[in-house]
Amino acid sequence: MKELFPAKQVWGFVFSLILTLAALTVYFFNMSKAMGMTIFILTAFIQAAVQLVVFMHARETDDSKSIFMTLYCAIFLAIITVVGTILCMIWGWTY
Amino acid sequence: MGFFTRFLIPNPSPVIYTSMVAIGITILLIVFGLTHFKKWFYLWSGWLTTVDHKRIGIMYLIAALLMLFRGGVDAVMMRAQLAIPDNKLLDSQHYNEIFSTHGVVMILFMAMPYIMALMNFVVPLQIGARDVAFPRLNAISFWLFFMGAMLFNISFVIGGSPDAGWSSYFPLAGNEFSPHVGTNYYMIAIQIAGIGTLMTGINFMTTILKMRAPGMKLMRMPMFTWASLVTSVIIIFAFPVLTVALIMGTMDRLFATKFFAMTDGGMDMLWANLFWVWGHPEVYILILPAFGLFSEIIPTFSRRNLYGYRSMVASMVFISIYSFFVWTHHFFTMGQAAYVNSIFSITTMVIAIPTGIKIFNWLFTMWRGRIRFTVPMLYSIGFIPLFTIGGVTGVMLAMSAADYQYHNTMFLVAHFHNVIIPGVVFAVLGAATYYWPKMFGFMLNERLGKWAFWFLTIGFCLAFFPMYITGLDGQARRIYTYSESTGFGPWNMVTFIGTVLMAISFFLIVYTVYYSIRHAPKDVGDDPWDARSLEWATHNPVPEYNFAIIPQVSSREAFWDAKYKGHELFKGDYEKIHMPNNSGGPFIMSCIFFVFGFALVFSIWFLAIMGLIGIFVCMALRSFEIDHGRYISVEEIKETEAKYGGVNK
Ligand code: HEM
Ligand SMILES: [Cu+2]
């Protein structure tokens, strides 16, 4: 019975719900902008990791090395894009 | 009646009414022809439901040629309007619609499918596979692209075309300044086609990583396969940005959200930003496969192996990552500080280095080679100097301070046509000639092909070099007229003449195909060009299973070494071959996508919801479908191979 019960997935599901609720607090409670953004960013990244590892089985096959390579590449490009966008549209904006 | 008024065109003209009639007549003729010659069943079972990568490739090719015609007509109209000062051929609204659709059609519905055509046809053959990794997904990709393209193309007869440029900048593209449905077409048609492209990227990445013939290590892959792999990776990273930007744009237009509005916390510049985050990688999605094709053609007709294989691969991989670092160069003039512009100036200039490396590699491949001046080789040789000019002007544009002068002038227009026509268009035309015997079993006429090449090249030079001059003198792009005192008149006339030569070249190409179908010998053997890579190891035209026996690769130029160094490609005996079944699903689902898109464009909510449900039903049905494919028996293989004269050993 114990092998059949998908404990990891159930916990993953509960955990992802908790993360969602944590993000929702930003809307319902009055807090500073910095605080809100920190909560958003933290919960978003943890959420993504949970989804990848628990539900998309990123670590369960032999080619997990190449999966993570592409993943890191994607994260890298995403960071470049986001930082570049903020650089153009906010930090470096002169109008 | 009120319901139907939305389908009227806001700015009608006799030309549009004529094309409506022409479209109607063409559709009637096609329906009549299919019925008369009893071809409906053939069309359905042979093409509409096919999952064969070769047939899908050919359909992409046909679609691309049709769109080349459509975009070409737009181009001729624009240049006719500009040929003389103060011309009254088109009014400003029509001019706006024409340059907007010209750009979208040429980049997304001509160049992209042309590249997809060659990727589909060539890549599985080059890696010794029997099909792509997900054949049915491949069919969905094609049909989504096709329906997106058709949705976009009906805009000029139903409801009106987009008129905010191919980059569709907000706030101009918002409801306030573009009230009619044209820009809805833009947002939704490109979205549908874009989903198809994204799936192609996933499909080809998987195919190339997982389905190579035994012995074909990554560093033994032919260069076009490398280019396709790198391109797929760029597609997977870049297209989601476009998808999101288009959804936000659609929401702004249909549901009054404020993402790109100038009020309520919206940010109009964000569209330009997101568009080019996708847009710059997109130009590399176009050019890298073109580079790959030249890297196949040049060694074949120089009788030498490709110079600097490793540096070719390295520069492509470098470009693939680096193409995401430069997008701001498209809006240097939009208002960010000088230090921001400087950063992106430098990243942009750096990207010219790997491109330069590749140019030298091709030159060194030809150096001391025995060059045969066939049509594909002519296109490759024409490409090198002309593309280099385009690259150099690119570096000029990359200097942000100077770009304040060049930006949005004809100089910029000359730059990107100078890279796209000799780069992408020459590549696909040359490669289509090169692979024609593979696709259809006969060669295209060389003499006519050379005429077409010269008309295109001379026409290109006449059409675009004057734009560098008028651009530096300040002729702006996207302006429908200019006064005589500007002095732009004579140069624009030269441009118009060049445009006419290029149009003639298009008809010469069509005529070449027609002439060759009628007159070319049908028996050209399996290796008419004395080529080097694996796709030439099977028959012409390719049997449906590609290779009767899966080849064993032991070197970089597998087929060449089999011919001249005695490597054995096909070991062992025939075995039954597993093939995927045809399916009507992709076509039907894409038709529903079309209806869904059309309903969204005109805000017919009931129909849109029905369409959405239909799409989900199709996906659900597919999930529960059990389909194990079918087998081709050994007898059947023997029969087919006997017809071709046996496996090439
Ligand atoms: C040597 C490499 C290249 C450099 C340094 C370069 C640089 C630039 C720059 C700085 C611009 C923006 C100019 C402006 O808006 O004022 C630009 C525009 C453009 N480039 Fe390039 N480019 C290069 C290669 C290419 C290639 C290979 C392609 C396509 C195959 C291409 C296609 C385009 C297009 C389509 C636009 C303008 C789009 C528009 O505004 O409508 N470029 N390029
Ligand atoms: Cu760019």
Q: B269 contacts in A (CB within 8 Å)?
A: 89
B348 lines ligand 1 (CB under 6 A): yes
Decide if pLDDT at A1 tops 70. no
- Reference B390, options B366, B359, B363; nearest CA is B359
Decide if pLDDT at A48 tops 70. yes
At B294, the amino acid letter reads: F
Decide if pLDDT at B486 tops 90. yes
- Reference B318, options B359, B275, B284, B295; nearest CA is B284
How many other CB atoms sit within 10 Å of the CB of residue B31?
11
Distance (angstroms) between ligand 1 centre and the Cα of A27 equals 43
Separation in Å, CA of A94 to nearest CA in chain B? 6
Burial tier of B317 (Cβ tally within 10 Å: 0-12, 13-18, 19+): middle
**Considering the domain boundaries, does residue B589 fall inside one?**
no
Average pLDDT estimate for B415-421: 96
Give the number of domains in chain B.
Answer: 1
**Considering the domain boundaries, does residue B403 fall inside one?**
yes
Among B404, B415, B464, B477, which is best to mutate for testing ligand 1, by the most ligand atoms less than 8 A from CB? B415
Angle CA(B311)–CA(B313)–CA(B318) in degrees, nearest 5? Answer: 90
CB contact under 8 A, A87 and B237: no
Assigned token pair, B436: 């024609």
Q: A91 contacts in B (CB within 8 Å)?
A: 340
By Cβ distance, the residue of B277, B327, B340 closest to A92 is: B340
Using CA positions, which residue lies closest to atom 7 of ligand 1?
Answer: B394
DSSP state of B36: H
B52 lines ligand 1 (CB under 6 A): no
CB contact under 8 A, A85 and B343: no
pLDDT score of A86:
92
Q: A81 contacts in B (CB within 8 Å)?
A: 241, 277, 324
CB contact under 8 A, A84 and B337: no
Average pLDDT estimate for B479-498: 95
Q: Are B568 and B592 in contact (CB under 8 A)?
A: no
CATH, residue B126: 1.20.210.10
Q: How confident is the model at residue B648 (pLDDT cuts 50, 70, 90)?
A: low
**Considering the domain boundaries, does residue B608 fall inside one?**
no
B541 cis-preceded (ω within 30 degrees of 0): yes
Decide if pLDDT at B1 tops 60. no
CB contact under 8 A, B327 and A84: yes
Which ligand neighbours the alpha carbon of B277 most closely? 2
Ramachandran region, residue B538 (left: φ > 0; alpha: ψ -120 to 50; beta: rest): beta
pLDDT score of B519:
92
Distance (angstroms) between ligand 2 centre and the Cα of A85 equals 15
- Reference B395, options B362, B360, B346, B460; nearest CA is B346
Q: Are B398 and B348 in contact (CB under 8 A)?
A: yes
Going by C-beta distance under 8 Å and a sequence separation of 6 or more, which residues neighbour residue B589? B140, B143, B614, B615, B618, B619
At A52, the amino acid letter reads: L
How much is the pTM? 0.94
Which ligand neighbours the alpha carbon of B276 most closely? 2
CB contact under 8 A, A89 and B336: yes
Interface check for A9 against chain B (CB to CB < 8 A): the answer is no
CB contact under 8 A, A94 and B337: yes
Which positions 255-284 of B are in contact with A (Cβ < 8 Å)?
Answer: 267, 269-270, 273, 277
Distance (angstroms) between ligand 1 centre and the Cα of B330 equals 8
Closest-approach residue (CA) in chain A for B270: A89
Rounded to the nearest 5 percent, the helix, strand and coil shares of chain A are 75, 0, 20
How many other CB atoms sit within 10 Å of the CB of residue B28?
10
> Which stretch of A43-52, B2-11, B347-356, B581-590 has the lowest confidence by average pLDDT?
B2-11
Q: How confident is the model at residue B331 (pLDDT cuts 50, 70, 90)?
A: very high
Assigned token pair, B334: 């939009």
pLDDT score of B646:
66
Interface check for B340 against chain A (CB to CB < 8 A): the answer is yes
Domain extent, residue B357, equals 7-583+627-644
Q: Which residues are registered as beta bridge partners of B336?
A: A93
CB contact under 8 A, A94 and B343: no
CB contact under 8 A, B270 and A80: no
At B241, the amino acid letter reads: V
pLDDT digits (tens, 9 = 90+) for B590-627: 999 999 999 999 999 999 999 999 999 999 999 999 88
**Considering the domain boundaries, does residue B594 fall inside one?**
no
Percentage with pLDDT > 70 across chain B = 99
By Cβ distance, the residue of A66, A77, A94 closest to B336 is: A94
pLDDT score of B142:
97
Cβ pairs bridging A and B (under 8 Å): 43
B439 lines ligand 1 (CB under 6 A): no
Q: Report how far residue A47's alpha carbon sits from residue A41's, in angstroms, rounded to the nearest whole number.
A: 10
Q: A79 contacts in B (CB within 8 Å)?
A: none
Assigned token pair, B184: 């809805």
Distances B191 to B255, B297, B601 between C-alpha atoms, Å: 17, 34, 12
pLDDT score of A3:
75
B407 lines ligand 1 (CB under 6 A): yes
Which positions 19-78 of A are in contact with B (Cβ < 8 Å)?
Answer: 66, 73-74, 77
Ramachandran region, residue B443 (left: φ > 0; alpha: ψ -120 to 50; beta: rest): beta
Q: Are B203 and B141 in contact (CB under 8 A)?
A: yes
By Cβ distance, the residue of A81, A87, A94 closest to B324 is: A81
Distance (angstroms) between ligand 1 centre and the Cα of B523 equals 44
pLDDT digits (tens, 9 = 90+) for B278-317: 999 999 999 999 999 999 999 999 999 999 999 999 999 9
- The secondary structure element, H or E, covering residue B415 is helix B410-419
Distance (angstroms) between ligand 1 centre and the Cα of B394 equals 6
Decide if pLDDT at B511 tops 60. yes
Decide if pLDDT at B649 tops 60. no
pLDDT score of B314:
95
Helix (H, G, I), strand (E, B) or coil at B175: coil
Separation in Å, CA of B337 to nearest CA in chain A? 5
Among B416, B426, B428, B468, which is best to mutate for testing ligand 1, by the most ligand atoms less than 8 A from CB? B416
Distances B263 to B63, B271, B350 between C-alpha atoms, Å: 41, 14, 38
B149 lines ligand 1 (CB under 6 A): no
Q: B270 contacts in A (CB within 8 Å)?
A: 85, 89
Q: How confident is the model at residue B645 (pLDDT cuts 50, 70, 90)?
A: confident
Q: Report how far residue B243's alpha carbon sits from residue B250's, in angstroms, rounded to the nearest whole number.
A: 10
Q: Are B249 and B260 in contact (CB under 8 A)?
A: yes
Helix B352-366 / helix B309-322 crossing angle, nearest 10 deg: 160
Interface check for B337 against chain A (CB to CB < 8 A): the answer is yes
- The secondary structure element, H or E, covering residue B630 is strand B630-632
How many other CB atoms sit within 10 Å of the CB of residue A14?
10
Q: Report how far residue B90's alpha carbon sits from residue B161's, in angstroms, rounded to the nearest whole number.
A: 15
Q: Are B193 and B109 in contact (CB under 8 A)?
A: yes
Separation in Å, CA of A76 to nearest CA in chain B? 10
Using CA positions, which residue lies closest to atom 20 of ligand 1?
Answer: B416
Decide if pLDDT at B575 tops 80. yes
**Considering the domain boundaries, does residue B160 fall inside one?**
yes
pLDDT digits (tens, 9 = 90+) for B468-484: 999 999 999 999 999 99
Q: Report how far residue B202's alpha carbon sits from residue B208's, in angstroms, rounded to the nearest whole number.
A: 10
Q: What is the DSSP string of B364-420?
A: HHHTT------HHHHHHHHHHHHHHHHHHHHHHHHSHHHHHHHTTBHHHHHHHHHHI
Q: Are B293 and B428 in contact (CB under 8 A)?
A: yes
Q: How confident is the model at residue B21 (pLDDT cuts 50, 70, 90)?
A: confident
How many other CB atoms sit within 10 Å of the CB of residue A49?
12
Q: What is the DSSP string of B292-348?
A: HHHHHHHHHHHTSPPTTHHHHHHHHHHHHHHTTS-GGGGGGGGSB-HHHHHHHHHHH
**Considering the domain boundaries, does residue B640 fall inside one?**
yes
B282 lines ligand 1 (CB under 6 A): no
The mean pLDDT value of chain B amounts to 93
Alpha helices in B83-176 (DSSP H): 92-104, 112-126, 135-154
Average pLDDT estimate for B230-240: 95
Dihedral angle computed from the Cα positions of residues B519, B523, B525 and B530, in that order, rounded to the nearest 10 degrees: -20
pLDDT score of A93:
85
B319 lines ligand 1 (CB under 6 A): no
pLDDT score of A71:
85
Q: Which residues are registered as beta bridge partners of B173?
A: none
Interface check for A18 against chain B (CB to CB < 8 A): the answer is no
Q: How confident is the model at residue B8 (pLDDT cuts 50, 70, 90)?
A: confident
